[in-house]
């Protein structure tokens, strides 16, 4: 079949909050997968805060995912719903009289899976951000049966945010496949102690810790074993 995925390796990148480096971690994952010989790409199903350009609306995060992929892809295949205002998607969509629905998002995802060995889907905001009335961002990994990689922004309060996010992910019936620590606050006190606490309390392995200020290509040394070991066999 034309839209049948080349492999079953696809995952969802969630965050403990907005602005904690989901895109940085997602791009790092893409480069790490590419370094292992896989044709990999990223996807940002819904993005708000898009800029008007001569080529159409563009979102900074989606452009970063586009650049990280194994091959050039049309922007619309990576970010099928691009909203102008930098608000929660359900509010940005309401201002434009746009309805965020799962069907076009799933169609774009299936096309990417048909031509790539790995697809990294980045969420928007935190785990339970509304996309539309009655539709949360968590519906994407749940309905598409995607394992979840949680990005933990390493700053004061990250322990609580990480634990609550992990609990919500599992309560929604999703598999937390691993987590990535991101050094968004280089001055964070007791960072190693916090990382050790996260390793003890989170019910999934740590795939890596991203240093502050390092670009995704340089930061691509992640332990992907927990992800690759669960890859379905064709």
Active site residues: 44
DSSP-assigned letter for residue 232: P
The alpha-carbon radius of gyration of the chain (Å, integer) is: 17
Would you list the DSSP string of 116-169?
-SEEEEE-SSSTT-EEETTEETTHHHHHHT--EEEEEE-STTHHHHHHHHHHHH
In the numeric block, the tokens 């996260």 are attached to 198
Distance CA 15, CA 161 (A): 9
**Residue 143 dihedral angles phi and psi, to the nearest 5°:** -75, -30
Give the burial string for 211-230 (b: 16+ CB within 10 Å, else e): eeeeebeebbebebeebeee
Please say whether the beta carbons of 56 and 186 come within 8 A: no
């Amino acid at each position: 079949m034309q839209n049948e995925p080349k492999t079953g390796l696809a995952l969802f990148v969630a965050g403990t909050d907005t602005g904690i480096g989901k895109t940085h971690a997602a791009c790092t994952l893409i480069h790490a997968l590419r370094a292992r010989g896989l044709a990999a790409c990223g996807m940002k199903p819904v993005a708000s805060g898009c800029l008007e350009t001569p080529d159409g609306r563009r979102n900074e995060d989606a452009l970063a995912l586009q650049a990280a992929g194994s091959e050039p892809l049309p922007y619309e295949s990576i970010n099928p719903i691009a909203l102008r205002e930098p608000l929660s998607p359900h509010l940005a969509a309401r201002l434009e009289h746009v309805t965020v629905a799962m069907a076009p998002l799933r169609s774009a995802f299936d096309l990417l899976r048909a031509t790539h060995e790995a697809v990294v889907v980045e969420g928007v905001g935190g785990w339970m951000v509304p996309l539309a009335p009655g539709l949360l961002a968590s519906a994407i990994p749940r309905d598409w049966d995607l394992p979840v990689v949680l990005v933990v922004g390493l700053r004061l309060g990250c322990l609580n945010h990480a634990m609550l996010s992990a609990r919500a992910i599992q309560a929604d019936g999703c598999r937390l496949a691993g987590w990535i620590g991101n050094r968004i606050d280089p001055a964070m006190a007791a960072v190693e102690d916090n990382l050790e606490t996260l390793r003890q309390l989170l019910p999934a392995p740590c795939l890596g810790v991203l240093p502050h200020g390092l670009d995704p290509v340089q930061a691509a040394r992640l332990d992907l074993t927990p992800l690759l070991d669960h890859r379905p066999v064709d």
